[in-house]
Structure 1
Amino acid sequence: MTEYVRRILDAHVYDVAVETPLEPMVRLSQRLGADVLLKREDLQPVFSFKIRGAYNRIARLPADARSAGVICASAGNHAQGVALSAKKLGIEATIVMPVTTPQIKVDAVRYWGGNVVLVGDTFDEAYIAAIKLAAERGLTFVHPYDDGDVIAGQGTIAVEILNRHPGPIEAIFVPIGGGGLAAGIASYVKFLRPEIRVVGVEPADAACMKAAIDNGSRVVLDRVGLFADGVAVRQAGEETFRICRDLLDGVLVADTDAMCGAIKDIFEDMRILAEPAGALSLAGLKAYAEANPERTGALVAICSGANLNFDRLRHVAERAEVGESREILLAVTIPEEPGSYRRFVQVLGNRTVTEFNYRYAKNGKAHVFVGLQTRDAKNRKAEIIKELEDLGYGVVDISADETATLHVRYMVGGRAPSLDDEVILRCEFPERPGALLRFLDGIGSDWNITLFHYRNHGADYGRVLVGVQVKPEDRARFNARMDSLGYPYEDETANDAYRLFLR
C-alpha cells in the first residue's frame, strides 16, 4: 500500500488530465436523507477517467519504447485515453477495437490520432489480436487496468476527493470492470483514511471481481452483459484482484434498471448524461443508503464517464422508471365482455398510466399490459396488486421480466392460438452488418420461424425474441444447433408475458 501511495503521488496525469470537481447532488441528497457527492470524471478531455492511467503509463516509457509506439485493445474509453495520451507525447498509437464497436467511438479514437484496427466481434478477440500485433511490431501494450502505472494514475482521483472533502466520509463507491480504478482509490484512501469504506460496484451480469473475491481466486465468467460496456469484463486483473481482495470493504451489484435510474438521477441533479458504467457507482450508493439508514458522513460516487451513445437514450428512459421504483408493469386479465374495459380503467382511477396495451380475445378473457407510475413502486406494488385481485382480476407482476420489457410490450395483440410446438428464445448477437443473416443461417431451414422481434438499443449486441416451431422429438437436435451458434440465449417458452399476450 505504501508503494502505491508513493506512485500515486508521483503520477504524471495533469499534463493532459484535469482535476475534476466533487459536486453535491442536492435533489438526491434530499430524497435519500444523505450527503451525496459526485466526482465528475465525465469532465475529462475524453469524458472519462481512463485518461489518467493511460497517460501515466505511456509518459513513463523509455525513449526506445516511445519511438516504437504503443498499442491497446479497447472498445471505448481506454482507447480514447491511449490515443490522446500518445498524441500529447508525440507517440504513434494503434487501437484494436471489435468490429461491433459503435461508429461514434471509432470516430472519437481517430479524432485523437489513433490508428484503428477493427478485429473480431468481442473484446476478447480484439485483445488477442492486439497482443499478437504488439509482439510482431515491437509495440508496448498498454493494459486497460492490470498495470501498476495505470492503477497509480487512476488513484489520483482519491487524492482529489480527500483534498476537496476533508470532513467525514462514510463510503466511496467505485465502479469495477477489471479493477484498476478501485485498486488505485482503495490503496490511497485506506492508507490515509482507513475509517472510510471503499465499496466496489459491478453490473449484475458482469460481476467478475465479486465472483473472484467470493471464490478466493480469479474466475472467468462464461459471458457478460454489455449494457454497461465500460465495465463488461470477464475476468478481474491479477494485480487489481490482489489489491481489491485485501482493501475493499465489499462489492455490490446493480442491474440494468438500477443503472438507468442512476443515469436519470445524475441528469436531474447535474443536467449531464452519464454512460451506464459512469452511473454504476451511484446505483450502488443508492442501494447502500437504503440498506444503511444510520450514516456518519458523506457518500461519494465516481461518475466515471459520459460516453453514451445517443441512440441508447430511449432504452435508458424506458427502464429508468422501473429502476427508480417509480413504475409497475402488470399483466391483468379482465372479462372479454361489453363494458369490462371501461370498468377496468375506472378501477385504475387517477393513477398515472405509462403504458396500456390491449387487444380483443375470443376465449372470454382479455389480457391488458399496463404500466403504472407511482412514487414508491417497491412498497406500493403489493397494495395495488391486492386491490386488483380483490376485485376479481387476475394479475401477474412483470416489472422485472426482461422478455416483457424488451420485447412483448411492443408486440401485444399478435396471437397464434392454433400454432403447435412453438419454442420461444431470447437471444443476443453482435450488432454488425450481416449478423442477423448469419444468425438465421445458423438456425437453418429445418425449423419454421414463427415469431421474430428485434429492436436496436444502442448497444454493441442486438437483442432478439424468436419463435421456432420444433416438435418435441426434435428438441434435443434443435438445442444442440442453438448451442453450436455461440450466441447467448434463454428459453422463454414458459414466460408469463408470452403466454398471456402472444400465445
Structure 2
Amino acid sequence: MPSDYLTRILTARVYDVAQESPLELAPNLSARLHNKVLLKREDLQSVFSFKLRGAYNKMAHLPPERLQRGAIAASAGNHAQGVALAASRLGTRAIIVMPVTTPSMKVEAVKARGGEVVLFGDTYDDAYTYARQLERDKGLTFVHPFDDPDVIAGQGTIGMEILRQCQQPIHAIFVAIGGGGLIAGIAAYVKQVRPEIAVIGVEPVDADAMSRSLAAGKRVRLEQVGLFADGVAVRQVGKETFRLCREYVDEVVLVGTDDTCAAIKDVFEDTRSIVEPAGALAIAGAKAYVERTGIEGETLVALACGANMNFDRLRFVAERAELGERREAIFAVTIPEQPGSLRRFCECIGRRNLTEFNYRIADRTVAHIFVGLQIQDRADAAQMQETFERNEFETVDLTDDELAKMHIRHMVGGRSPLAHNELLYRFEFPERPGALMKFVGAMSPNWNISLFHYRNHGADYGRIVVGMQVPPEEMQEWQAFLDTLGYRYWDENNNPAYKLFLA
C-alpha cells in the first residue's frame, strides 16, 4: 500500500491546472524563530488554494463515460472551486452543493469557474447528504474533499515538490489538517523518500478531530467545531486519511485563534500576501513547536495552503494578531477611588505604550480599569501584573480570556442595579438571516434580556453575549432552552471580567 501511494503521487495529473508553487524563505519569521522557515506557497494557485490538485487528479482519472456524465461535490469553500475548475478544463459539468449559509463571495467564485451551484441546508453535513442523493439520482461521480486515494495523491504532489525544491536537510514539514487529505498525501510521499523528516499536523484547539482520533486509536466525531478556521472545520476525519496519518504523521500541534491571527500577520510581513485562517495554521504550528522545543538552526517548511479570505474579516485578525504574538496584554486593575490613585496607576505603566484604556466609576470606594499594554513577551506581562500588585492594585490578567477580548472591552461600565437574577452566556451561531429571531423566538416570554452585545467580524458566523434575567425556579427550563437551541454556548457567570465590570 505505501508503494501504491508513491506510484499514485508520481503519476498524478495535476499540472494541467496547478503550478509548482514556490518554496520561499520567510526572512523576518526565520530571524525571530532562529530557524530557517520556508513557506510552500499554495496560496498562489489559480484558485488560491491547494484543493485543485486533488480534485483534478480524481476527475482526470475517471473513465471517459463517467467523466462525461459529470461530477458533484459538497463544499462551502476551496474544494468547490477546485472541482469547478477541473470540470471546466476537462470539458464536463460540475454540480456543487453548498450550504445556504455560504457567503455570496464564495458562491460567485464557484459560478465564475463554471460550477452549477445548488444551495441546500444550513451545514456542510446537510449539503453532503443532499449531494450524495443527487449523485445517485443523476448518475454523477462524487468528488470527496479528502477521503479518496486519487484526491490524497493529488495533494501529495506538494510533498514531492518540497523535496525536489529543498535538497538540504529538513527538520520538519508543518501541514494544516481538516479532513486529513493534504497531510496524508504529503506524509505518504515524504516518509517513503526522506523518512528522517518529521511531518507535523496542525489543528485549531476547537477543531481537533485528527488529534483526538490519533490519541483514541480510532476516528472520533466532534459534536461541535470552531468556525474561525473554516477551511479545516471538519467534525470527523476520513477513514483513509486517518489510516495514513496513524502510519506516517509524527505528531499534531494545536493552536488557538490568536496564534492563527498572528501567523496571518507573519505571512503578510514576509510576503505582503494575506492567507486565510486555515492557510496560516501551519505557520502558527511551526511557531508553537519552536517555542515548545527550543530548537535553533534547523530548516522548517510550513504550508501556506490557502488565501480565500473574506476582506471584512481582517478587522478581527488585526485586532487579535498582537495578542497572538504576545505583544499585547490585557488587565483588569482595581484602584481606590481617591485622589492620586490614577496618577500612581500611570506611574506603574511608565513609558509602556497603551493599546486600550477603559474606565468608568464603579462605586464610591473603588474604580475598575480595563487596560491594554504593549509587551515583549508573556514574562513581561507577568512582571507588569507584579508591579500593579506591589502597588496594592488588585489585578486580573485577561489576555487569554475570550469574553474579555470579544465583548467586555467594548462594554466596560455596564453594571445595572436592575439586573436581578441575571445569567450571562456567550453564543456562536451561523451568520444568516433569521438566526437572531430563532434565538429570541425560542425563549420563554417570562425572561427578559438585560444585556446584549454583538459585533460583526465579516465571518460566516456571529458571536453574541447575552444577559438574561431568569428566576431561580425556572433554571430547568433555561437549561432545556440551551440544549435545544442548536448554537454553541459558554456559561460565563463566573467569569472574572463579567464580575468586575458588569455583574
TM-score bucket of the superposed structures, by smaller chain: over 0.9
Conserved 8 A contact 1:76-1:230:
yes
C-alpha distance in 2, partners of 1:222/1:350? 47
C-alpha distance in 2, partners of 1:8/1:307? 26
C-alpha distance in 1, partners of 2:211/2:310? 28
Conserved 8 A contact 1:170-1:296:
no
Equivalence for 2:262: 261
Matches within 5 A, 1:190-269: 190-269=191-270
Matches within 5 A, 1:104-503: 104-295=105-296, 297-376=298-377, 378-503=378-503
Equivalence for 1:57: 58
C-alpha distance in 1, partners of 2:405/2:233? 22
Q: Deviations over 1:27-57 (max 9, x none)?
A: 1111110010000000000000001000001
SS at the partner of 1:37? strand
C-alpha distance in 2, partners of 1:399/1:122? 32
The answer to whether the aligner puts 1:35 opposite 2:33 as a matched pair is no
Give the partner amino acid of 2:317: V
Give the partner amino acid of 1:16: V
How many Å apart are 1:294 and its aligned residue?
3.5
Equivalence for 1:2: 3
Q: Deviations over 1:297-333 (max 9, x none)?
A: 3100000000111111011111111111111010000
Give the partner amino acid of 2:416: A
Of stretches 216-225 and 450-459 in structure 1, the one that deviates more from structure 2 is 450-459
Conserved 8 A contact 1:170-1:295:
no
Give the partner amino acid of 1:240: T
How many Å apart are 1:153 and its aligned residue?
0.2
How many Å apart are 1:344 and its aligned residue?
1.5
Matches within 5 A, 1:79-90: 79-90=80-91
Report the number of matched residues: 502
How many Å apart are 1:471 and its aligned residue?
1.4
How many Å apart are 1:129 and its aligned residue?
1.3
Give the partner amino acid of 1:327: E
SS at the partner of 1:341? helix
SS at the partner of 1:287? helix
Equivalence for 1:13: 14
Give the partner amino acid of 2:282: S
For structure 1, the 5+ residue unaligned runs are none
Conserved 8 A contact 2:282-2:303:
yes
Q: Deviations over 1:194-239 (max 9, x none)?
A: 0000001111000001111000000100100010000000001000
How many Å apart are 1:100 and its aligned residue?
1.3
C-alpha distance in 2, partners of 1:58/1:150? 9
SS at the partner of 1:426? strand
Give the partner amino acid of 1:500: L
Of stretches 3-12 and 91-100 in structure 1, the one that deviates more from structure 2 is 91-100
Give the partner amino acid of 2:436: L
TM-score by length of 2: 0.98
Conserved 8 A contact 1:201-1:254:
yes
TM-score by length of 1: 0.98
Give the partner amino acid of 1:495: N
Conserved 8 A contact 2:348-2:387:
no
Q: Deviations over 1:415-442 (max 9, x none)?
A: 1134211000100111001111111111
C-alpha distance in 1, partners of 2:130/2:411? 41
C-alpha distance in 2, partners of 1:407/1:426? 9
Name the % identity.
59
Of stretches 306-315 and 413-422 in structure 1, the one that deviates more from structure 2 is 413-422
Conserved 8 A contact 1:169-1:296:
no
Of stretches 335-344 and 147-156 in structure 1, the one that deviates more from structure 2 is 335-344
SS at the partner of 2:339? coil
Structure 1 residue runs of 4+, over 6 Å off? none
Distance 1:363 1:137, change over 3 A: farther
Give the partner amino acid of 1:430: P
C-alpha distance in 2, partners of 1:338/1:471? 41
C-alpha distance in 2, partners of 1:402/1:434? 25
C-alpha distance in 1, partners of 2:12/2:161? 13
The answer to whether the aligner puts 1:23 opposite 2:24 as a matched pair is yes
Give the partner amino acid of 1:111: A
C-alpha distance in 2, partners of 1:345/1:129? 60
How many Å apart are 1:346 and its aligned residue?
2.8
C-alpha distance in 2, partners of 1:121/1:367? 42
How many Å apart are 1:295 and its aligned residue?
4.9
SS at the partner of 1:464? strand
Give the partner amino acid of 1:63: P
Backbone CA RMSD of aligned residues: 1.1
Give the partner amino acid of 2:428: E
C-alpha distance in 2, partners of 1:74/1:38? 26
Equivalence for 2:103: 102
